[in-house]
Homo-oligomer: A and B are copies of this chain.
Amino acid sequence: MTVLVFLDPAHPAGRLVDAATPSLLATDQGVTRGDGIFESLLAVDGTPRKIQAHLERLAGSARTMDLVIPAAELWQAAITTAVTAFSASVALASAPAADAPAQCVVKLVVTRGPEGANTPTAWVQVSAISPALAEQRAKGLDVLLLERGYDSGISARAPWLLLGAKTLSYAVNMAALRHAHEQGADDVIFTSGDDLVLEGPTSSVLLAHISDDSGVPVKRLITPHLDTGILPGTTQGALFAAAKEAGWELGYGPVTPADLLDADAVWLISSLRLLAPVNTIDGKEIGTAAIRAELSEELSALLATTL
């Protein structure tokens, strides 16, 4: 079941439409040019999580794209309309499971609009969360390193490459995932032309190093630096804040593939899948199953406090 709410000046709370009926013009530049931006976020028990961080990142993507998008209040109102409609339809369709929080996926999309008109098309889509994501958290992932093709320094000098913006032009991200699946892997970590670790096609990369050289264990959580042109991870940011409170040291790249292989644990982290441990990279095991499980449990508990 999918709920769609369009942002529409004539409907301040958003315009609810039937998701099974066409609602986009075929001339919309979102489809003819992949010319638009998006965010995906999690809602738990009817409440969207990290909404401020997602709206800020959407606004950042819009600036990079020279795209004028609806104000935050209009997104908030449309999200409320959409999540409420989704919750109502789920409640109608099934008895509520008393012990499990109801989770759903909230997607915000805005395009440059129909060719010639250049008035943005904006909508909120709410749908059920894929059971595959919980499975990724439980079982972990086999990951391939794949070249993203860009040097880590290009972002600052070539703004037209739109690095760090979450655009609708995701064909390469999807192709990288298909390539991994064909090779029997589950996901991808992109590397730069100068061999630094970047991000996954739909996730940020984290690694942990545990040391106790002086008899006092030091736990360090590391993610690649944003200067490499990667997307700022909203879930990585939330986890870093919680981990710092809990006594973890934080580090920001550069991260090399060798750093990943030497880590005690590596994760792909994103708003929907949350924290999924990486079991192997290019067939090489990361840490041990016991350490991965232990650290994943600790960090997932910290992340849960932020949801």
Q: Tell me which residues across on chain B come within 8 A of A162, comparing CB atoms.
A: 171-172, 175
Q: Within A135-184, which residues are at the interface with B (CB < 8 Å)?
A: 146-151, 154, 157-162, 167-176, 178-179
Size of interface on A: residues with Cβ below 8 Å to B: 54
Q: Judging by beta carbons under 8 Å apart, are A168 and B2 in contact?
A: no
Q: Is A72 an interface residue (CB 8 A)?
A: no
Bound CA–CA A28/B20 (angstroms): 11
Whether the Cβ atoms of B24 and A19 lie closer than 8 Å is no
A244 contacts chain B at the CB level, 8 A cutoff: no
Q: Is A109 an interface residue (CB 8 A)?
A: yes
Across-interface contacts of A21 in B (CB, < 8 A): 22, 25
Chain A binding surface, main DSSP class:
mixed
| A30 touches B (CB below 8 Å) | yes
CB-CB under 8 A from A249, the residues of chain B are: none
A159 touches B179 (CB 8 A): yes
Q: Which of B19, B34, B35, B157 contacts A25 (CB 8 A)?
A: B19
Least CB distance, A116 to chain B, in whole angstroms:
9
The answer, yes or no, to whether A31 is at the interface (CB within 8 Å) is: yes
A125 within 8 A of B: yes
For window 9-48 of chain A, which residues contact chain B by CB distance below 8 Å? 19-36, 38
Q: How near does chain B come to A104, taking the closest CB pair, in angstroms?
A: 15
